[in-house]
């Protein structure tokens, strides 16, 4: 699953969130993996990233709240990370069982 943005919106979290939302909505499987930089750009932490200036740290609290509202559980997937990604592992989205959830836009 890929959430791509043009360079003009590189640091616009709302644009990254919209792209991530569209990618998840189009994803047919119960489990989706997203690249850390894509998710971190959508949900950047206010703290600086001590490992790289290229990508912000990920604000998991905001990401979890957002994902839950859309019917997904979210967790890091360090077992899917390459050696280069160990400090920025992919993020696993697992679809929650349907229980009359609403999807706010």
Residue partners of 77: CB distance under 8 A and separation at least 6: 33, 89, 90, 91, 92
The answer to whether the predicted template modeling score (pTM) of the entire model surpasses 0.75 is yes
Which parts of 43-86 fold into alpha helices (H)? 60-69
**H or E element at residue 36:** helix 36-42
Strands 31-34 and 91-95: antiparallel
DSSP structural state of residue 44 = B
Which pLDDT does position 23 carry in this prediction? 94
d(CA 11, CA 30): 29
DSSP structural state of residue 64 = H
Which pLDDT does position 6 carry in this prediction? 44
**Per-residue tens of pLDDT for the chain, all 105 residues:** 555 544 444 679 999 999 999 999 998 899 999 999 999 999 999 988 887 777 789 999 999 999 999 999 999 999 999 998 888 899 999 999 875 545 555
């Amino acid at each position: 699953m890929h959430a791509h943005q043009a360079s003009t919106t590189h640091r616009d979290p709302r644009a990254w969130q919209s792209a991530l939302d569209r990618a998840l909505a189009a994803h047919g499987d119960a489990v989706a993996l997203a690249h850390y930089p894509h998710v971190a750009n959508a949900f950047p932490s206010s703290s600086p990233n001590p490992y790289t200036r290229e990508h912000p740290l990920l604000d998991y609290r905001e990401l979890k709240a957002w994902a839950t509202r859309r019917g997904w559980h979210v967790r890091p997937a360090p077992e899917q990370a390459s050696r280069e990604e160990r400090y920025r592992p992919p993020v696993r989205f697992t679809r929650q069982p349907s229980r009359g959830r609403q999807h706010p836009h």
